Structure 1
Amino acid sequence: MPFVTVKSTAQPTTLFYEEVGEGRPVVFIHGWPLSSAMWEYQMGAVADAGFRAIAYDRRGFGRSDHPAAGYDYDTFADDLNAVLETLDLRDVTLVGFSMGGGEVARFMSRHGADRIASVVFASAVTPYLLKGDNNPDGVDGDVFTEMKEKLRDERPAFLETFGKQFFGQGMLSHPVSQATLDSSLVVAMQASKKGTLDCVDAFSKTDFRQDIASIRVPTLIIHGDDDKVIPIDASARRLAREIPGSVLKEYDGAPHALVITHKDDFNRDLVSFLQGSI
């Protein structure tokens, strides 16, 4: 299996990646608490459109190493940089979903745009989730504290419940099958408990507003207006205002996991953006 080794941290860490297709590279950064497996509907669509699709597992998740430390966005951005440098990728489009949007933002401010052609934020945590005096539109910190408590108490039970919210599953709403819910739980349980817990702090407490200010490449923002995990008012709508010239696509009734529940719409918009039609 293909791996990239990150040597810039105290403990060398190997990151699993997969790729398909040829052409200009598109690098996918997955959300919490999943892995690169979540991009299965995008990888083929992007490759069929004439691009090279690459997705990797974040440290602590999927088939990458599960180190005891390094679950912060500076390290995540350096991991992403290691993937780009090791594979010598240039003219790249970065696609970050949920907490993966944080990697995109921090990478751009920390490593610059020399290798980057454009960026996509999908259901992303940016610009800043945690509610506070200087961020009154954010999410209350008690939400994240409760998440961590439930993860410590019984991780499978919490992730099963979270998965339903993730996909917008309810009594009258069934956007995905039980098989999809079950397989996503299996993927989520492949992550280390330490990484799963630490990442809650990372994506909830990291302020990306200064990182966002450094983005000067074409930017596409996609978010569902029924996202119960990361409310659109606290994220995408603010993000669009803070990145001059960015394009915001709002999906009516879409939940957090729109790359799966609304995969045809998402793939159409992503490919159009890659081809310069958006």
Structure 2
Amino acid sequence: MSFIKAGRDAHGNDVLLDYIDHGQGKPVVLIHGWPASYKMWEYQLTALTERGFRVIAYTRRGFGNSSKPYEGNDYDTYADDLKAVLDQLDLQDVTLVGFSMGGGEVARYMGRHGGARVRQVAFVSSVTPFLLKTTDNPEGVDRETFDKMIEGLKKDRFSFLQDFGKDFYGTGLLSNPVSDATLTWTQAMCEVADPHATIASARAWSETDFRQDLTTIKVPTLVIHGGDDTLVPAKVSGERMTRYVPHAEFIEYAGAPHGLFIPDKDRLNRDLITFVQGGDIQKTADRY
């Protein structure tokens, strides 16, 4: 395993981020979702590397094989950790790809660090612009929904993750978009996350307002969201992104669930490759 140092924790210990760095060419940085690790990008890592890109994926603090400090489960810290990745690998003209919770890192990095080193950004099933329902965000989700998630994690984290995986991939009585083996693999990956980080980061992605961050984005922007995403519905996330990033290109994958990176991997891979190459995404989308 390889690690990037992202500062120190409250006790003076190094905070280390597990990462993988494959290939050569235009750099693409993949930022994973909650509560997984960079390993969720298995099919994208392979596809992008084979097309001649340098592909970097890392695991945020508190998850996977990265350090698990008690503090730092907030988006300012996550954005600073992303900066450490870009700076220490000396990456330039980067394409950032954030999935779900990872879309928040992309937004906060662009707002907090002025988009340094970044050429373009992609949001996939992202929690942006702002999930929580408030007086000035009436289209958001009631806090009670997130409170129930926290209760489930505290009561039986493993049972919660088992049920979460099914919703994540849109698995039901009449729908089996991924295999049982994939569900088992996903749960095992998520179980490695620190319990405290799992809960604290859930509060972060559900309660952080990214709207101001998004208004700072001037680089080419791609937004992809599943039409059948029940965890982060497109109507409160992907569909609203162009309000804050008017030049963004929004593509909805009809019938796709939240975790579309596996059941819709072929389409996602083609769209990301086209985006990194500067091609016409809509022409790719029209084939589906």
TM-score, normalising length from structure 1? 0.98
Percent identical among aligned pairs is 53
SS at match of 1:258: coil
The one-letter amino acid paired with 2:129 is P
SS at match of 2:139: coil
Q: CA deviation at 1:9?
A: 5.3
Once the two structures are superposed, the pairs formed by residues 182-201 of structure 1 within 5 Å of their partners are 182-201=184-203
Q: CA deviation at 1:19?
A: 1.6
Say yes or no: does 1:146 pair with 2:133.
no
SS at match of 2:262: helix
SS at match of 1:146: helix
The one-letter amino acid paired with 2:6 is V
How far apart are the structure 2 equivalents of 1:73 and 1:204?
11
How far apart are the structure 1 equivalents of 2:215 and 2:206?
19
The one-letter amino acid paired with 2:25 is G
How far apart are the structure 2 equivalents of 1:8 and 1:121?
29
SS at match of 1:50: coil
Aligned to 1:122: 124
Q: CA deviation at 1:49?
A: 1.3
Q: CA deviation at 1:24?
A: 1.1
Aligned to 2:3: 3
Q: CA deviation at 1:102?
A: 0.2
Once the two structures are superposed, the pairs formed by residues 32-181 of structure 1 within 5 Å of their partners are 32-181=34-183
Q: Is the 8 A contact 2:62 2:68 kept in 1?
A: yes
How far apart are the structure 2 equivalents of 1:23 and 1:2?
20
Deviations along 1:161-218, one digit per CA (max 9) or x if unpaired, are 0110000000000000000000000000000001000011100000000000100000
Say yes or no: does 1:229 pair with 2:231.
yes
Say yes or no: does 1:264 pair with 2:266.
yes
Q: CA deviation at 1:240?
A: 2.1
How far apart are the structure 2 equivalents of 1:140 and 1:226?
19
Aligned to 2:215: 213
SS at match of 1:260: coil
Aligned to 2:19: 17
Which moved further from structure 2: 14-23 or 235-244? Answer: 235-244
How far apart are the structure 1 equivalents of 2:40 and 2:116?
28
SS at match of 1:180: helix
How far apart are the structure 2 equivalents of 1:104 and 1:113?
9
Q: CA RMSD in A?
A: 0.9
How far apart are the structure 1 equivalents of 2:265 and 2:24?
22
How far apart are the structure 1 equivalents of 2:8 and 2:193?
22
SS at match of 1:259: coil
Which moved further from structure 2: 63-72 or 2-11? Answer: 2-11
How far apart are the structure 1 equivalents of 2:54 and 2:43?
14
Find the partner of 1:273 among 270, 275, 279.
275
The one-letter amino acid paired with 1:242 is Y
SS at match of 1:22: coil
Deviations along 1:127-157, one digit per CA (max 9) or x if unpaired, are 0000111111111110110000110110000
SS at match of 1:55: strand
How far apart are the structure 1 equivalents of 2:9 and 2:110?
19
The count of residues paired between Structure 1 and Structure 2 equals 278
The one-letter amino acid paired with 1:3 is F
